[in-house]
Amino acid sequence: MSALLVAEQLHKTYGTTTALTGADLAVHAGEIVSVMGPSGSGKSTLLHCAAGLTAPDGGLVTYAGQDLFALGDVKRSAVRRREFGFVFQFGQLVPELTALQNVALPLRLDGVARRVAERRAAGLMDRLGLAEKAPARPGELSGGQQQRVAVARALVTGPKVIFADEPTGALDSVTGEQVMDLLTDAARATGAAVVLVTHDARVAAYADRGVVVRDGRSSSRAGVR
């Protein structure tokens, strides 16, 4: 079976700092892949490039057979909005919006009417056990609750791939496990693949397989070939 998302031989430099020197990553539909590596290894840059957020200086990112960076900005943004979900280390919820409005936001940005978007968001939050947090603003939620809302936001469009960058990095170990349980259970239930960047081996152990990034390159187990 061919991979859903393939990043091949990615190179990326920021000023004088080299982040990627030929990194690879392949993700099949529905699988959970961890990307581990020491800090500064390039693992977050690999995620940003694979997700179409940052253009690599060299190499190729293919999603569902199409070259992601050959698409124009508008089309690539549409792929990101509809096909990808994102969870970051700090929930990055919009503080002025309620949890429900935050979860509905990706749908609203994609042009879905407010009532429809919020109804879908409410249904999802209910299924994820977050219904009672819907009216709260992020400032009224604990770090773990915010991150669970962020997971719901990542899932609301029914993405094919969820990119999670240190999703438990700001949480204690028990809360982190609850977030990982929620994220991986929901991904399995919906068939979404997950790219899980983490420096924490116990978080990486939630994945089906792992890729190690060191000095901007992936281990031979990146699964591209």
Partner 1 sequence: MTIATAFLALLEDRPQHGYDLKRAYDQHFGSDRPLHYGQVYTTLAKLLKNGLVTVDGTDGEGGPDRKRYTITEAGVTDVQRWLAAPEKPDQYLQSALYAKVIGALLTGRSAADVLDVQREEHLVAMRELTRRKRAGDLADRLICDHALFHLEADLRWLEHTTTVLDELAGQVRR
Q: Is 208 in the site for partner 1 (CB under 8 A)?
A: yes
Candidate list 176, 210, 216, 223; residue touching partner 1; CB under 8 A: 210
Residues near partner 1 (CB under 8 A), total: 14
In contact, 7 and 32? CB cutoff 8 Å: no
Stretch that binds partner 1, among 2-10, 83-91, 159-167, 204-212 (CB under 8 A): 204-212
In one-letter notation, the amino acid at residue 134 is A
Alpha-carbon Rg for the chain, nearest whole angstrom, is: 17
Q: What angle do CA 100, 102, 103 make, to 5 degrees?
A: 65
List of residues 6+ apart from 33 with CB closer than 8 A: 25, 27, 193, 194, 195, 196, 207, 208, 209, 210, 211, 223
Q: CB nearer to partner 1: give 114 or 221.
A: 221
Q: CB nearer to partner 1: give 150 or 203.
A: 203
Shortest spacing between CB 32 and partner 1, in angstroms: 10
Q: Is 204 in the site for partner 1 (CB under 8 A)?
A: yes
Measured CA distances, 118 to 52, 78, 126, 134 (Å) = 27, 20, 12, 10
In contact, 35 and 188? CB cutoff 8 Å: no
Site for partner 1 in 161-200 (CB under 8 A): 181
Q: CB nearer to partner 1: give 92 or 219.
A: 219
Stretch that binds partner 1, among 10-18, 61-69, 146-154, 213-221 (CB under 8 A): 213-221
What single-letter DSSP state applies at residue 207? S
Q: Is 28 in the site for partner 1 (CB under 8 A)?
A: no
Interface positions with partner 1 (CB under 8 A): 38, 181, 201-202, 204-208, 210, 212, 214, 219, 221
